[in-house]
Amino acid sequence: MAKSSVLGYPRIGADREWKKALEAFWAGKLEETAFQSQLQDIRLNHLRKQSEKGIDLIQVNDFSYYDHMLDTAAMFGIIPQRFAYTGGVVPLSVYYGVARGTKGATASEMTKWFNTNYHYIVPELNGASPVLTENKPLAAYREAKEKLGIEGKPVLVGPLTFLKLSKGYSAAEFDVWLDRLLPLYIQVLRELAEEGVQWVQIDEPIVVTKLSGDDITRLQKIYGTFAAEVPGLNIMLQTYFESAEHYGDIVALPVQGIGLDFVHGFAGNIKSIREQGFPQDKVLGAGVIDGRGIWKAHLGDKLTLLKELAGYVTPDRLIVQSSCSLLHVPVTVERETKLDAELRNALAFAEEKLDELVLLTKAISSDGVDVSAELAKANRTVETLQQSEARNRQDIQQTVAVISSKQPVRSRPFSERYEAQKAKWQLPLLPTTTIGSFPQTAEVRKARQLWRKGEWTGEQYGSFIREEIDRWIKLQEEIGLDVLVHGEFERTDMVEFFGEKLAGFAFTQNGWVQSYGSRCVKPPVIFGDVAFTGEMTVEETKYAQSRTNRPVKGMLTGPITIMNWSFVRDDISREQIAYQLAYALRQEVEALEQAGIGMIQVDEPAVREGLPLKEEEQAGYLAWSVKSFRIATCTVQDTTQIHTHMCYCEFHDMIDSIEAMDADVISIETSRSHGELIHSFELNTYKLGIGLGVYDIHSPRVPDVTEMTGMIDRALRVLDPKLFWINPDCGLKTRGQEETVASLRNMVEATKQARAQYNATEL
């Protein structure tokens, strides 16, 4: 008979009790013993839930005190030297120090986990002497068995993935590090085998990315060594997020099971199986339920797929599972009482996905259980939403089809627009501005809460927002900025704000997911055709412009960022969703321009985050991302200046696409990677307006004038001073007023010094 499994469960809890426990512990409000006890209760509750739902293979060691990559590093004693770790089990003070920093040591780098919105802590190998500090998978297995009687399936990050995602070593040292880690992995696996563990899941998502011949050799060495050293242990080599590269080599590895993603990697994986079959001596982990999306699956279609896969493996060698960990979805739909019933019935969060897996497993197993009625009911909920008016707006679909069939372009090229804008705006050399937001103080948050609760009228709240705008317009003028912003005090979130004002969006009450550490986000849900319903930003921007003679930028979030930071519908392509968003934003851009706003910033910080994992798909994604931006911005007058803002650590492979967006000015978050970006511009010419962030807004420290002058000087060695802007590297929403004002004053002073150096006679 087939079995069911999930590849990981959300850590945060239905009430975010995990987050609350962490933050109470960090704040000193919860002693370590009580903290450990609370987290154990949360962990066991998650295992109990899966057991009660009927999941056959329940994963253990997927729970974390912060992040699973940090857990792996800590298990092997790989702790940066600056944290003064002296060996043994890593104390929580050191563990959280690596994640969050301490007074004397900066935190380790944090970056995206493949192409998801989850962030992991990047292990630092330099200077480390790895040793097994504790067998975390074994401890998790014992706990589940002793406390709940569950025969768990321990999971750990595989050696190739761990090393590929770590830093602090040269390419030439890769195999040296692999040889250091392999004995430790063997020790972990041997102890699990001795304990009687039946299955161990080793996650190697790196195999869905481009692998070299050397990488294939390394995989063969890793898993050949495991087979030789721990021959009695069943290993499930798990892939996810895409289809496996080098399929033939992967399925030939000496492991007992291979897990494949048949949702996000469906096309490649099913093609490989159809063409090359599947080994008769291995178990197939079929990831058919989407671990990243929030929609109920059409179980009829999934059952058809499973029946096809059953032609390659016998039922006893088939595991019906999620495509990846359920870490990426909210916990339960049960509490979403305010959603429209038609939409709510079509949603499946983590708990609901357990039900889907169990039902599919019953349906594919030959145990005589009739689940046809349940399957039909599940399919109807999906079909009802699909047939709804919200998803079938012909007016939007037809207009977007026409607009997207053409290549959107501004009426004149940048060189001509530049002259027209220069004449209109009369800005000084190296104009100064900010990215958009100013500090969201406790007073701002309280005012918004009072308004949302109905304790303040709309007029009271609007009056408060206008007072904040007045205060910051005056401050910006006193500081000496050239181009101002209204501050975005009316906005909780740069995506949610726009979603609340567009058709096709819905918002959950408790749809939280972990972004990093205890930071949880509640993404909007794009469930229908997106449509403009009325002006979104004009009132506040127009008011701000009326309070000053200096230009005020209109501030919008771009279509790709809104899409990438939302849960999106799965019945049409992401490209089509992006075009719908772009068309809606175009109407807001035009409304701002008609209201007299002549500088409009359309931010796209998340373009790079959406890059497909497969290199061959990246060019197509970038092409329609650029097109979406241009759809939103191409209809304005030549004198209207379009700005954008992006967040990147790497830039060299994106310059062509960014330039193709044809924004008049782009600002890039660069303060932590300034040198690398300058090197990119040494190799590539950029001919449009640009601002490289001259100070890091993520730190509370106030950078001095000399520091920022140095940043400006480096940039102007490779960029045209006539096209260069001076700005912080990101929005200032999370900073305090005092440090914000002090930093901006220093930025303006640094600009004055730079202007004196790069005067008109030198240009």
What local confidence, expressed as pLDDT, does residue 646 receive? 86
18 is in an annotated binding site: yes
112 is in an annotated binding site: yes
What is the reported pTM? Answer: 0.92
Report yes or no: 743 and 695 within 8 Å, Cβ to Cβ: yes
Is 328 designated active site? no
What local confidence, expressed as pLDDT, does residue 763 receive? 43
- Helix, strand or coil, per DSSP, at residue 514: strand
For the segment 213-259, what is each residue's pLDDT rounded down to a tens digit? 999 999 999 999 999 999 999 999 999 999 999 999 999 999 999 99
Place of tokens 């209204």: 486
Structural domains of the chain, ranges and CATH numbers in brackets: 3-389 (3.20.20.210)
CB atoms within 10 A of CB 198: 12
Of 426, 357, 486, 373, the closest CA to residue 639 belongs to 426
Of 625, 520, 632, 640, the closest CA to residue 583 belongs to 632
**Residue 438 structure tokens:** 């100013």
H helix and E strand count, the chain: 27, 20
519 is in an annotated binding site: yes
- Helix, strand or coil, per DSSP, at residue 621: helix
Comparing 118-127, 166-175, 648-657, the range with the smallest average pLDDT is: 648-657
647 is in an annotated binding site: yes
Report yes or no: 531 and 506 within 8 Å, Cβ to Cβ: no
Confidence of residue 628 (pLDDT cuts 50, 70, 90): very high
What local confidence, expressed as pLDDT, does residue 369 receive? 66
650 is in an annotated binding site: no
Comparing 345-354, 370-379, 572-581, 638-647, the range with the smallest average pLDDT is: 370-379
For the segment 735-746, what is each residue's pLDDT rounded down to a tens digit? 888 989 999 999
What local confidence, expressed as pLDDT, does residue 675 receive? 56
177 is in an annotated binding site: no
324 is in an annotated binding site: no
19 is in an annotated binding site: yes
Comparing 67-81, 318-332, 334-348, 706-720, the range with the smallest average pLDDT is: 706-720
For the segment 592-622, what is each residue's pLDDT rounded down to a tens digit? 999 999 999 999 988 988 999 999 999 999 9
Q: What is the mean pLDDT of the chain?
A: 93
Choose, from 643, 652, 679, 698, the residue flagged as catalytic. 698
609 is in an annotated binding site: yes
What local confidence, expressed as pLDDT, does residue 686 receive? 81
Measured over the CA atoms of residue 359, residue 364, residue 366 and residue 371, the dihedral's sign is: positive
Span 318-336, mean pLDDT? 97
What local confidence, expressed as pLDDT, does residue 367 receive? 59
